[in-house]
Amino acid sequence: MTDPNVGRTTFVGVLGREPSDEEMSRLMAAYLERLPHEVETSPGYTVLAGVPECLAKLRNEGVLLGLTTGGLEAAAHIKLARAGLNEFFSFGGYGSDSADRAELTRKGIERASEILKHPLVRAEVFVVGDTPLDIEAAHDADATAVGVASGVYSVDQLREAGADHALVSLEEPFPS
């Protein structure tokens, strides 16, 4: 679920009704106000093995790196800041763009196309994710899906979901 979906679902669950536009705006603002403290003090915050090295290697090879996430754009940057990972991402598709993961992935690809000044084709776009929903969003956005078994899904499960490439971790060589 995207951040706005989580907020809306929680609001409905607690109050039993849809939030007004003003209430939704206030809810998202309160979330963003509290998030830096929560991220900074979270004992469970970790950077997965190989992530900084993989991102640095790709950037140094001239790969334009973007982020797709169900988080609000501001929330994504807050979460990345603790690990010093913001520097790797020059664009993205966010939960603040769309509640639909495929659509926010397409938005990220559209932003990359604007930066590069030409439309991108599937062979040029790799979407990395750790769930079958990430694989589905990549394919729905006409991108190459790279599954990484860093979460609850195994390499085999990500392959079964249709991943074009599947890795145990980002310590493995990235597909080209």
90-143 pLDDT tens trace: 999 999 999 999 999 999 999 999 999 999 999 999 999 999 999 999 999 999
* Contact of 176 with 164, CB cutoff 8 Å: no
Q: Which pairs with CB-CB distance under 8 Å and at least 24 residues apart come from 164-168?
A: none
C-alpha torsion sign, points 76, 78, 81, 82: negative
Under a CB-based contact definition with an 8 Å cutoff, are residues 104 and 129 in contact?
Answer: no
Query: Which pLDDT does position 134 carry in this prediction?
Result: 96
**Pairing mode, strands 144-148 and 91-94:** unpaired
Global pTM? 0.91
Q: What are phi and psi of 128, to 5 degrees?
A: -105, 130
The pLDDT tens digits for 46-95 are: 999 999 999 999 999 999 999 999 999 999 999 999 999 999 999 999 99
C-alpha torsion angle, residues 40, 42, 72, 7 (rounded to 10): -130
Is the pLDDT at 175 greater than 80? The verdict is no
